[in-house]
Amino acid sequence: MASHRPPQTEQRGTVSGRRRGRLRLLFPAAAVGLGIVLIHNSLDSSPVTQVHPSGRPASLASRQAPTPTEQATAPSAPSAPSAPSAPSAAPSATAGPGRPAPATGAAPDDDALPRSEPTRISIPKIGVDAPFTKLSLDTTGRLNPPPENDKNLVGWYQGGPAPGERGASVVVGHIDTKTGPAVFVELPTLKPGDEVDIGRADGVVARFEVDAVEVFSKSDFPDDLVYGDTPSPELRLITCGGTFDKARQDYRDNIVVFAHLDSTARA
């Protein structure tokens, strides 16, 4: 797949035109068992403002209901890879997803929130409770990953929408590191209807509802589906999955969770 530079962003992550870049996550890491228990402290917040009582996000509207996704599998304790030039779980990006303008004829969603940085993610179903770090692109157009020495940390691509803003916000996390399972190890077990709460710096908790969990080969990643423009606030949670290729020291697939903004509340 041809490489492209990321779109130039203006202040607050806006992008002129509708150019969309490509973000491909490659997490070469020593695979370990998937059993893990993470401490979860749910985000209690009230009052709640309902945003989308029903309906699927625009990016999935034309797709049939996905078949249930199988649990991502990893081989048991392969030998650790030699130290790479980048962190072992580094997502490889030929370009960032950007923050495109609304599609022609599509009005922005009135329920979209103003821009505010995410501070914490909570996924009750899989026991995730983790802080955020901001991610950016390096000089080659690759997305810098969350630090691999912190297994309970997720990264938000700050060149795109913030969670709750109009568009697809991108959040990535390790499935494992060289030392063991990491924050998104149970991400493939999420189901439609599960909830994802994201606390923001402005004191708002944005609650997203899962629409689908998909597995995509890294060699045939659907950039437009995952990063394409959306008229309403959506969320993409991304990690590695599938089989671990010992020869390449890399997972073959990406796990992508599609979700839409369901409600908002004050923390």
Which residues lie below 8 Å from residue 85, measured CB to CB, with a gap of 6+? none
- Among candidates 186, 183, 101, which has minimal Cα distance to 147? 183
- Reduced to 3 states (helix: H, G, I; strand: E, B; else coil), residue 218 is helix
Q: Are 163 and 114 in contact (CB under 8 A)?
A: no
For the whole model, what pTM was predicted? 0.67
Q: How far apart are CA 71 and CA 13, in angstroms?
A: 34
Condensed to tens digits (0 to 9), the pLDDT of residues 188-221 reads 999 999 999 999 999 999 999 999 999 999 889 8
pLDDT at residue 267, rounded to an integer: 83
Q: Are 141 and 91 in contact (CB under 8 A)?
A: no
pLDDT at residue 60, rounded to an integer: 56
Which residues lie below 8 Å from residue 151, measured CB to CB, with a gap of 6+? 174, 177, 179, 180, 181, 182, 183
Whether the predicted pLDDT of 155 surpasses 50: yes
Pairing of strands 128-135, 154-157: parallel
Condensed to tens digits (0 to 9), the pLDDT of residues 105-135 reads 444 567 899 999 999 999 999 999 999 999 9
pLDDT at residue 138, rounded to an integer: 85
Question: Is 18-98+116-266 a CATH 2.40.260.10 domain?
Answer: yes
- Among candidates 99, 81, 98, which has minimal Cα distance to 90? 81
Domain coordinates of the chain in residue numbers?
18-98+116-266
Condensed to tens digits (0 to 9), the pLDDT of residues 63-80 reads 443 443 444 444 433 333
